[in-house]
Amino acid sequence: MQTAQHAARFPLPVWKKLLFAALAVIGFFLLLEGLLVVSGVAPADASSDPFAGFAGRSPLFVTAGDDRDGCRMQTSPSKLQWFNPQSFPCEKPPGTRRVFCLGGSTTYGRPYRDPTSFAGWLREFLAEVDPETSWEVINAGGVSYASYRVARIAEEIVHYEPDLVIIYTGHNEFLERRTYESLMRTPEPVREVGGWLSQLRTFSVLRSTLGGADEEPEPRDGAEEPLAGEVKTILESTVGLDAYRRDERLRGQVVRDFRENLAYIADVARDAGAQVIVVTPACQLRDCRPFKSEHRAGLTEDERTAFEAAVRTAEAALDAGDANAALEQITAALEIDDRYALAHELHGRILWRLDRPQEAKAAFVKARDEDVCPLRAISPIEDAVRDVVRKRDLPMVDFVAMTASAAEKQIPGADLFLDHVHPTIEGHRMLALSLMVRMAELELIPPQSEWNNGSIARVTDRVKSTVDPSEHAQALVNLSKVLSWAGKYDEADRLALRAGEMLSNDSEALYQAGSALYRQGNIAGAMEQYQRAVEVDPQSARARFGLGLTLAESGRHEEAVEHYRIAAAKMPGQLEIRFNLGNSLLELGQPGAASREYEAATRIQPDFAPAYNSLGIALAQLGDLRGAARNFRRAVELDPSNEDARSNLKRAHSELGE
């Protein structure tokens, strides 16, 4: 009894209470984590983890377990959305030399994959020219990875005993900054804790329970993917073009950060005893328009009007074959506003037509550097690469100069690049051979005299024989979709037509080729491609819609309606299908059926003014002038510049005696 009274007079200290409470909480969550493991709940994967790539606890390579060759490292399954699958022994075997290729989507080999990337070519060339050494070339290029996250990969791979680290980075700096700016400003300890938490099943459950707003919306009415922008592109999965505005302060900060990151990557690799080779980031200049243009600050309305008139006149003169007149007009436009990227691009095309290649190249470079959405390494990024190389005395492969020397009139175009930054397969081969030359100079491989054209030809034939034409063409189709979404139709159409020629039995490729021809005004050619796409896949709603569109434009509305209806049954929530179906029905003298399609269009997109105007026309033909006037008025409210709707509204009121 005395003991109990004594205990009551001396309660536990506060620190012990806190300790017991903490242990109880930890014990609870450990038990919960264990139950979730047993239940098969997976941790948040990298695609939904905002800390992936920004926290040291999200590794690129994980242990694959023991097999007959012993323990191996492999690309983490959660990273395969951005990285090629790669594998290598946990312990580097004797007589092995290990090469890591770091960077973004060019290093990855996009739009293809590792075997035709410069890393893949390098792997094959090394095995041919130096068979005495066991070479491991690991492709650690991540799609859309900028130098900030490449630095994280560098910190990891130095633990795997690299002999050589090849760095190709610089194109994704502004993509990363716009998308991850708030996360990049988060203090490092917070990011590390977030990265650790994201590996827990408990975190995954809490996030899925509380973060439903981040989930993808369900498709409407079981519809297929949309007609326009049908792929989830790199830009679309990050921020999109609308987020980009001219910001000189941000641009300067991005360049400074890039310089520091590149220097850090090189230092980390060298400190681990590896050789380093830096590649200058090359891009297409001649056949690639800027992603987004923005006028200079302070431009008046009158100046803007004069600028736009001069640009239009210049474009028209160039199309008419009068390059001198075009040059006069574009020069006048640039005197008004020299910050508009597309004007510089047009200037370059005019100078190219006039066979003034040096001036044309300067104009194309200016267009790239004034791009408000700079997804090609701008001149300050190139300068930063060369500056880091010079100050640290690093070996360099000047891919910028190399692509220029191989290009027509020294301006890289579509002959060397598939899009704005991704080289052709031949471009990757060229880069790999240049890396081989640099490696020979560093005495990492035998001198060039010991490997000849015969060995190079054998490797070239072997690699090219493994390229699957259908996979190759499908990559072009996917890239064409991305470029279409970004509004770069010229580049997208060029790739789509190439893919259509290569994949004559692929509905998707034929549809993309038809869309390219349709945009170019070749209705007959587009109709042929859409028809072939429908023959290959009668269930393709997009191909049916495209065929209906070209048939309608050819005045064959009855046939168009047949294809529109099939497309609408597959994709009932698609505005374009219902609206165009209504148009053809109206042309066929069926205003009742047309009005139902227009009403469906207004339900899909309540602010689509043309649907209300067309619905008004259909109702007027049915004798419902009150309903017609109501819809004409709604069309005018939504789009005051719609002169057809204004005229129709006035006529409806007149016939109503109002």
What is the C-alpha to C-alpha distance for residues 590 and 439, in angstroms, rounded to an integer?
73
Mean pLDDT of the chain: 84
pLDDT value of residue 467: 77
pLDDT value of residue 231: 28
**159-173, 336-350, 471-485, 643-657: which range is least confident on average?**
471-485
Q: Under 8 Å CB-to-CB from 92, ≥6 apart: which residues? A: 98, 136, 160, 161
pLDDT of 238 higher than 50: no
- Split at pLDDT 50, 70, 90, the class of 25 is low
Cβ atoms within 10 Å, residue 313 = 17
Tell me the two tokens of residue 190.
């917070």
Are 261 and 150 in contact by the 8 Å Cβ rule? The answer is yes
pLDDT of 240 higher than 70: no
> Cis omega (within 30 of 0) on the bond before 395?
no
CA angle in degrees (0–180, nearest 5) for 639-641-643: 110
Q: What residues pair up with 135 in beta bridges, in sequence order?
A: 97
Are 605 and 575 in contact by the 8 Å Cβ rule? The answer is yes
Tell me the three state secondary structure of residue 551.
helix
**80-89, 176-185, 349-358, 632-641: which range is least confident on average?**
176-185
Residue carrying the six token digits 């310089």:
259
pLDDT of 220 higher than 90: no
Are 634 and 612 in contact by the 8 Å Cβ rule? The answer is yes
DSSP, res 529: H
Mean pLDDT across 91-98: 94
pLDDT value of residue 42: 54
Mean pLDDT across 221-250: 54
pLDDT value of residue 228: 35
pLDDT of 312 higher than 60: yes
Q: Answer with the residue of higher pLDDT: 161 or 202.
A: 161
What is the C-alpha to C-alpha distance for residues 371 and 290, in angstroms, rounded to an integer?
5
pLDDT of 61 higher than 60: yes
Q: How many CA atoms lie within 13 A of 289 on its CB side?
A: 18
- Give the tens place of pLDDT for each residue, 566-597: 999 999 889 999 999 999 999 999 999 999 99
pLDDT of 44 higher than 80: no
Mean pLDDT across 229-238: 37
pLDDT value of residue 615: 94
pLDDT value of residue 455: 81
pLDDT of 162 higher than 80: yes
- Split at pLDDT 50, 70, 90, the class of 213 is very low
pLDDT value of residue 178: 44
- Give the tens place of pLDDT for each residue, 256-285: 999 999 999 999 999 999 999 999 999 999
pLDDT of 237 higher than 60: no
Mean pLDDT across 215-233: 33
Cβ atoms within 10 Å, residue 209 = 8
- Closest listed residue to residue 571, CA positions, set 546, 545, 596: 545
Q: Under 8 Å CB-to-CB from 644, ≥6 apart: which residues? A: 613
pLDDT value of residue 3: 44
H-only helix segments in 10-95: 14-38
What is the identity of the amino acid at 19? L
- Give the tens place of pLDDT for each residue, 507-523: 888 888 888 888 889 99
What is the C-alpha to C-alpha distance for residues 60 and 613, in angstroms, rounded to an integer?
55
What is the C-alpha to C-alpha distance for residues 215 and 224, in angstroms, rounded to an integer?
18
Q: Pairing state of beta strands 164-168 and 275-279?
A: parallel
pLDDT value of residue 68: 56
- Give the tens place of pLDDT for each residue, 373-404: 999 999 999 999 999 999 999 999 999 999 99
Q: Pairing state of beta strands 164-168 and 96-103?
A: parallel
Cβ atoms within 10 Å, residue 657 = 5
pLDDT of 218 higher than 60: no
Are 137 and 123 in contact by the 8 Å Cβ rule? The answer is yes
